[in-house]
């Protein structure tokens, strides 16, 4: 009971700190540092030892941690993958726009958010800022998270659109722009964001070369439900799975195989970046670990053949107002345990072999598990598993905990399921 409470308190703190991809990675880094993991520099020679614990960060937005097994170069890897990004709004360059006496910001939609959930929220800004450095190839990076509500996207009053509740198509360019200030005479509107960021960071505006800044909802995570059985927060997809993977990695013990946590970026836009699952980043890391263990190409391929991946990305729970949307016989419920994702057209990497592995692991962990299969008239989504198998010849399963309102600015999940996922992942790493 005590452990369960600790896991959930820790999840809520993690969610509140991890307001966008860069901060999810920063939060995980800090935790790994505190637990004795060594940060490896991709440009340096690695000295990785059996029993050692390491991590690598890519682009400040993807993180790969591994606890090296003691079974040698052919023992293989047990991998849990998830993603650091969530749908949001990204601030465009030169974003300042004045309209109706207000300063608003020009933004671009990242991924596929449910747009209208972003209206009338206390929003703020977070991201990374690149400052002039000694070497043009290596600008300095600073992170910024403004911890007070700073913007809002006000909805149009119903009096101007009586049909709003009958379906209301939204323009990403017109309807979704956030307001940051009332314009007054003393205010310099030019480079407002740049100067705001410079002040927050304590630097001169002309030191800033560029930025990746996004909006986030400042409302913290909380428990809801008669028995506090649900958790509601932004970005549960997929940071709840990233948190479960990290917790399991830290709770698990050394064994023959190397335990890997791989948190990629840009899943929401198709994974096609250097820090995404369609890149060779994980293959390169696993190869380098193998070389450090004395392996050659043959040993590496043997290790990969012996490996298994759990691709952890959230699934859809049956929604009490829309039960007809789900498959008639396979509809995961909140609180019913981790969900194995199945698709006949191979949108998911799961097959009977890999599902059997994961079901056995859940069984051994004393955790229930359930299936998600699309209603046959609904197209459904895809995730990391298959994309990764185009890079690495891996056996594995697509799974994830069930959610309501995936891609809403606030999603709802089950407290019990989060504990179940941590227990199942820990068992996987220890098996």
* Residues binding Zn ion (CB under 5 A): 237-238, 313
Looking at beta carbons only, is 59 or 311 nearer to Zn ion?
A: 311
Task: Evaluate whether 23 touches 145 at the Cβ level (below 8 Å).
Answer: yes
Task: Report residue 292: phi and psi, to 5°.
Answer: -60, -30
Token pair of 49, please? 């030892």
Do 122 and 15 contact (CB within 8 A), yes or no? no
If the CB atoms of residues 81 and 290 are measured against Zn ion, the closer one turns out to be 81
Cβ distance to Zn ion smaller for residue 263 or 362: 263
Round to whole Å and give the CA distance between 267 and 265: 6
Q: How far apart are CA 410 and CA 209, in angstroms?
A: 33
Task: Indicate the angle between helix axes 21-34 and 2-17, nearest 10 degrees.
Answer: 130
Q: Of 37 and 264, which has the nearer Cβ to Zn ion?
A: 264
Name the 3-class secondary structure at 85: coil
**E-only strand ranges, 68-101:** 77-83, 88-99
| Min dist. Cβ of residue 71 to Zn ion (A) | 32
* Residue number of the CB atom closest to Zn ion: 238
* Nearest to Zn ion of 238, 398 (CB atom): 238
Q: What is the DSSP letter of 289?
A: H
Provide the minimum distance between the beta carbon of 267 and Zn ion in the complex, in angstroms, as a whole number: 6
Strands 230-233, 258-264: pairing kind: unpaired
Distance from C-alpha of 431 to C-alpha of 284, rounded to nearest angstrom: 25
Give least dist CB 397 to Zn ion, A.
15
Our CB check for Zn ion shows the closer of 180 and 221 to be 221
**DSSP letters of 152-175?**
B-PPPPGGG-TTGGG-----TTTT
User: What are the start-end ranges of the E strands in 175-250?
Assistant: 179-182, 208-217, 222-224, 230-233
DSSP state of 104: E
* Cβ closest to Zn ion, residue 73 vs residue 310: 310
Which among 233, 288, 235 is positioned nearest to 263, based on CA atoms? Answer: 235
- The sign of the dihedral angle between the CA atoms of 383, 384, 389, 394 is negative
Rounded to a whole number of angstroms, the minimum distance from the CB of residue 73 to Zn ion is: 33
Q: Give the sign of the dihedral formed by CA 170, CA 171, CA 175, CA 181.
A: positive
Query: Residue 112 or 205: which CB sits closer to Zn ion?
Result: 112
CB of 373 to Zn ion, least distance (A): 18
Output the smallest distance, CB 381 to Zn ion, in A: 8
Q: Tell me how far, at minimum, the Cβ of 83 lies from Zn ion, in Å.
A: 6
**Minimum CB separation from Zn ion for residue 145, in Å?**
22
Reading the block at residue 239, the tokens are: 């940071």
Q: Are 178 and 192 in contact (CB under 8 A)?
A: no
* Shortest spacing between CB 380 and Zn ion, in angstroms: 13
Helices marked H in 252-351 — which ranges? 281-292, 297-305
Q: Nearer Cβ to Zn ion, position 69 or 385?
A: 385
Spatial contact of 21 and 264, defined as CB atoms under 8 Å apart: no
CB of 271 to Zn ion, least distance (A): 11
Which is nearer to Zn ion, 121 or 235 (by Cβ)?
Answer: 235
Contacts of 379 (CB under 8 A, 6+ apart): none
Residue 240 or 354: which CB sits closer to Zn ion? 240
Q: Smallest gap, in angstroms, from Cβ of residue 390 to Zn ion?
A: 18
Spatial separation of the C-alpha atoms in residues 33 and 54, rounded to whole Å: 9
């Amino acid at each position: 009971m005590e452990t369960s409470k600790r896991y959930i308190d820790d999840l809520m703190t993690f969610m509140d700190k991890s307001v966008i991809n860069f901060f999810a990675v920063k939060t995980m880094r800090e935790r790994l540092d505190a637990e004795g993991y060594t940060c490896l520099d991709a440009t340096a020679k690695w000295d990785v030892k059996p029993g050692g614990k390491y991590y690598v960060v890519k682009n400040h937005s993807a993180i790969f941690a591994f606890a090296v097994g003691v079974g040698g170069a052919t023992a293989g890897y047990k991998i849990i993958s998830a993603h650091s990004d969530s749908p949001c709004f990204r601030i465009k360059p030169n974003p300042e726009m004045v309209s109706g006496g207000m300063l608003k910001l020009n933004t671009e939609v990242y991924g596929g958010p449910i747009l209208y959930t972003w209206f009338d929220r206390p929003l703020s800004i977070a991201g990374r800022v690149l400052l002039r450095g000694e070497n043009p190839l290596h600008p300095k990076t600073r992170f910024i998270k403004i911890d007070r509500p700073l913007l809002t996207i006000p909805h149009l009053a119903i009096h101007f659109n009586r049909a709003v509740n009958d379906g209301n198509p939204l323009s990403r360019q017109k309807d979704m722009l956030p307001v940051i200030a009332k314009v007054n005479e003393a205010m310099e509107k030019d480079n407002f964001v740049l100067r705001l960021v410079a002040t927050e960071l304590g630097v001169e505006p002309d030191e800033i070369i560029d930025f990746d800044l996004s909006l986030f909802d400042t409302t913290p995570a909380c428990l809801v439900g008669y028995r506090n059985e649900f958790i509601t927060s932004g970005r549960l997809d997929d940071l709840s799975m990233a948190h479960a993977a990290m917790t399991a990695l830290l709770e698990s013990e050394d064994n023959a195989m190397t335990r890997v946590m791989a948190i990629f970026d840009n899943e929401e836009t198709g994974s096609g970046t250097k820090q995404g699952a369609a890149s060779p980043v994980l293959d390169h890391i696993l190869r380098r670990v193998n070389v450090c263990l004395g392996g050659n190409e043959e040993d590496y391929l043997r290790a990969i053949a012996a490996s298994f991946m759990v691709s952890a990305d959230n699934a859809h729970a049956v929604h009490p107002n829309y039960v007809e949307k789900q498959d008639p016989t396979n509809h995961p419920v909140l609180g019913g345990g981790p969900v194995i994702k199945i698709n006949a057209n191979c949108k998911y990497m799961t097959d009977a072999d890999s599902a059997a592995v994961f079901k056995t692991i859940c069984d051994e962990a004393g955790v229930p598990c359930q299936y998600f299969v699309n209603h046959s008239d609904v197209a459904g989504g895809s995730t990391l598993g298959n994309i990764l198998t185009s890079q690495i010849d891996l056996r594995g399963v697509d799974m994830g905990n069930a959610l309501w309102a995936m891609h809403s600015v606030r999603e709802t999940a089950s407290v019990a399921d989060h504990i179940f996922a941590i227990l199942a992942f820990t068992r996987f790493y220890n098996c």
